């Protein structure tokens, strides 16, 4: 049986009201009395109830991970990995975690109020209106893999530019000079970062970028395959393709097979995300690995810091990426 506050009271000789105060408002209890309470609690392995402590402090200690992406679910591999990091960090704390999507929270501020949420971690393409509604209710906000102009918010992002540079320079090291890009229609921040980083790396190495070598597609197999065919089915095609995510990269392999192009002999392909799809393709995909669990963990750390009133919470936290080389390049 778990020890109760009454057991601590009997062992310490201190009233239950004073014991409760010793944990919720320790500065209001004399040091000698606090010592008795803490020693008795330690001897009994007693831990005060998190909800009771939160009520005593007039706080709920509820935080939420909100996925802001049309049609997104927690089963999405990228968000599931971030969620794992968030859960690992919250499981050992007094915070209660809620998980939902922006579509489920159509009335964001009303829901935050009814759920008594104190802070949210916003993933995906969070809109300014959503952030404003949360802030109007004094709900703390941390952005994950996103940045938003006009808001002074903590953001935890992967090193998009570093990841793209690793991918493209790897292809250059393999001798490729005509490198194409299949860009995906993602959240504006991600699309912009990966596209501009690609152009920057090519320019840094003095390699031309032809308009016909860059294509934009929806990140699904059907659309990406058709777009890859348009890129590759011509005599002056690129000898290598950087795909903005692994689904697009897998679709590029599918297009290459239809065109009887050997990978990597005739065409090298590099993806982004290092998802489980990389091991399912033939050949296996080279891809940029994002440390999603670390991103999730750091989001919780930043949110805790804001909720605790810390003054110097980093506004931008960049998590390193790394290239995982496989047989597609």
Q: For residue 210, what is the domain's CATH number?
A: 3.40.50.2300
Specify if 202 maps to a domain: yes
- Three-state DSSP class for 229? helix
Higher pLDDT, 233 or 309: 233
Do 182 and 224 lie in one domain? The reply is yes
CB–CB of 75/43 below 8 Å? no
Residues 6+ apart with CB under 8 A from 200: 161, 165
Structure tokens that stand for 232 in this block: 């590759």
Mean pLDDT, range 273-294, rounded to an integer? 96
Query: For 301-306, which contacts have Cβ atoms below 8 Å and span 24 or more sequence positions?
Result: 301/89, 302/142, 302/154, 302/156, 303/63, 303/119, 303/120, 303/121, 303/140, 303/142, 303/154, 304/93, 304/95, 305/154, 306/119, 306/140, 306/142, 306/154
CB–CB of 317/297 below 8 Å? no
Do 67 and 88 lie in one domain? The reply is yes
Specify if 283 maps to a domain: yes
Do 127 and 73 lie in one domain? The reply is yes
Structure tokens that stand for 296 in this block: 């999730």
Specify if 257 maps to a domain: yes
Nearest alpha-carbon partner for 180 in 161, 193, 166, 167 = 167
Specify if 279 maps to a domain: yes
Count the domains in the chain: 3
Which range, of 27-36, 50-59, 165-174, averages the lowest pLDDT?
Answer: 50-59
Do 279 and 168 lie in one domain? The reply is yes
Do 251 and 179 lie in one domain? The reply is yes
Specify if 326 maps to a domain: no
Do 166 and 279 lie in one domain? The reply is yes
Is 67 a residue whose pLDDT tops 60? yes
Measure the CA angle with vertex 214, ends 212 and 217; round to 5°.
Answer: 115
Specify if 328 maps to a domain: no
Do 136 and 207 lie in one domain? The reply is no
Do 234 and 208 lie in one domain? The reply is yes
In the numeric block, the tokens 């004399």 are attached to 30
Distance CA 146, CA 50 (A): 32
CB–CB of 259/229 below 8 Å? yes
CB–CB of 50/29 below 8 Å? no
Please report the DSSP string for 110-164 in residue order. Answer: HHHHHHT--EEEEEES--HHHHHHHHHTT-EEEEES---TT----EEEE-HHHHH
Among 37, 56, 75, the domain-final residue is 56
- pLDDT for the residue numbered 26: 74
Tell me how far CA of residue 268 lies from CA of 242, 252, 261, 286, 324, in angstroms.
9, 10, 10, 9, 14
* Residue-number span of the structural domain to which 112 is assigned: 62-158+293-320
Do 208 and 285 lie in one domain? The reply is yes
Do 261 and 179 lie in one domain? The reply is yes
Do 165 and 214 lie in one domain? The reply is yes
DSSP state of 31: H
Specify if 329 maps to a domain: no
pLDDT band at 250 (very low <50, low <70, confident <90, very high): very high
- Three-state DSSP class for 319? strand
Mean pLDDT, range 287-310, rounded to an integer? 94
Do 118 and 233 lie in one domain? The reply is no
Query: How much is the pTM?
Result: 0.80
Mean pLDDT, the chain, rounded, equals 87
Specify if 327 maps to a domain: no
């Amino acid at each position: 049986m778990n020890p109760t506050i009454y057991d601590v009271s009997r062992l310490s000789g201190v009233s239950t009201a004073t014991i409760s105060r010793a944990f919720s408002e320790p500065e209001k209890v004399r040091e000698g009395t606090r010592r008795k309470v803490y020693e008795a609690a330690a001897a009994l392995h007693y831990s005060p109830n998190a909800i009771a402590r939160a009520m005593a402090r007039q706080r709920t200690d509820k935080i939420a991970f909100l996925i802001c992406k049309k049609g997104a679910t927690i089963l999405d591999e990228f968000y599931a990995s971030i969620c794992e990091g968030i859960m690992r960090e919250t499981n050992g704390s007094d915070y209660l975690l809620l998980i939902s999507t922006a579509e489920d929270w159509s009335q964001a501020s009303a829901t935050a109020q009814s759920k008594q949420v104190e802070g949210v971690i916003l993933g995906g393409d969070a809109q300014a209106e959503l952030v404003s509604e949360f802030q109007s209710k004094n709900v703390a906000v941390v952005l994950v893999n996103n940045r938003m102009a006009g808001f002074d918010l903590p953001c935890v992002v992967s090193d998009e530019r570093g990841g793209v540079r690793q991918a493209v320079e790897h292809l250059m090291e393999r001798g490729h000079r005509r490198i194409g890009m299949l860009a995906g229609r993602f959240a504006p921040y991600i699309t912009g970062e990966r596209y501009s980083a690609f152009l920057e790396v090519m320019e840094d190495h003095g390699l031309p970028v032809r308009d016909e070598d860059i294509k934009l597609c929806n990140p699904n197999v059907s659309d990406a395959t058709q777009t890859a065919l348009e890129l590759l089915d011509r005599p002056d095609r690129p000898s290598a393709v950087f795909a903005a995510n692994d689904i697009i990269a897998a679709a590029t392999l599918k297009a290459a097979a239809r065109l009887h192009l050997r990978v990597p002999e005739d065409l090298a392909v590099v993806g982004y995300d290092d998802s489980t799809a990389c091991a399912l393709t033939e050949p296996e995909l080279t891809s940029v690995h994002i440390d999603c669990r670390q991103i999730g963990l750091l989001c919780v750390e930043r949110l805790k810091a804001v909720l605790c009133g810390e003054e110097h919470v980093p506004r931008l936290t960049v998590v390193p990426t790394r290239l995982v080389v496989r047989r597609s390049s």
